[in-house]
Amino acid sequence: MQSYFMLFISIVLINNFVLAKFLGLCPFIGVSKQIKSALGMGGAVIFVMTMASAVSWVVYRYLLAPSAENIFFSFMGAGKTPIDFDYTYLTTIVFILVIATLVQLVEMFLMKALPPLYEALGIYLPLITTNCAVLGVALLNISDFGMLQNAGDSFFRTTIQGFGGGVGFLLVILLMSGIREKLDNVQLPEAMKGAPIAFICTGLMSLAFMGFAGLVK
């Protein structure tokens, strides 16, 4: 298993969510027109992805998965096996509800407790529910580290993957918004303006990021 630090580096640079896994493209193209809004979106994504990873891990490991740790099994499991408490078929529905609720909670909490931060992130938060990077990281965590023997290790890896995924998203959307602000001053063929050229730049960036592949074995 990779060390925690290497896991972080690999999820930020090599297996970047946007450039290598194609997750979170809609906000990436939609909100990368200006550096300021890109920064707000990136911040909100880091926040929500980290929280969603941690919460969905707890939900999966202790409520849905058929293991000895399952709460339903420990309360009502007399004379039954953990397999009787296999609720993994509900994963998709439960995760999307958890994420939607979490986003609402975060929004209400920020509004009350940290108004300046809410001002900065406010309009981006509701959009994040349908950001596939968030549901994507929750599902990837489960298949990658969800059922590791050591619960603490499993939880840390999950959270690091969520946080690193958010940082990677912030990095790429910031770079992209910088490029797009410069692109505004370039004379392009009419048909290439906007999204098409943004996609081609993303392609070049993704090509450049492939150079990091040798960094982690």
Partner 1 sequence: MLKEMTKGLFKENPIFILMLGLCPSLAVSVSLQNAVGMGLAATFVLVCSNAMISIFGKFFPSKIRIPCFIVVIATFVTVVEMVMGAYLPALNQSLGIFIPLIVVNCIILGRAEAFASKNGVLPSIFDGMGMGLGFTLSLMLIAFIREVLGSGKIWGITISSYFTNEAFFKPAAVMVMAPGAFVVIGLIMAWMNYRRANKRTRPV
Residues in 124-163 that interact with partner 1 by CB under 8 A? 129-132, 135-136, 139-140, 143
25 lines the binding site for partner 1 (CB under 8 A): yes
User: To the nearest whole angstrom, how small is the minimum distance from the Cβ of residue 205 to partner 1?
Assistant: 8
196 lines the binding site for partner 1 (CB under 8 A): yes
CB 48 within 8 A of CB 102: yes
Q: Which residues, 6+ apart, have CB-to-CB distance to 178 below 8 Å?
A: 35
Amino acid sitting at position 98: V
Q: How many residues does the chain have?
A: 217
213 lines the binding site for partner 1 (CB under 8 A): no
Residues in 87-106 that interact with partner 1 by CB under 8 A? 89-93, 96-97, 100
User: To the nearest whole angstrom, how small is the minimum distance from the Cβ of residue 106 to partner 1?
Assistant: 15
Which parts of this chain interact with partner 1 (CB under 8 A)?
Answer: 19-26, 29-30, 89-93, 96-97, 100, 129-132, 135-136, 139-140, 143, 189-193, 195-200, 202-204, 206-207, 210
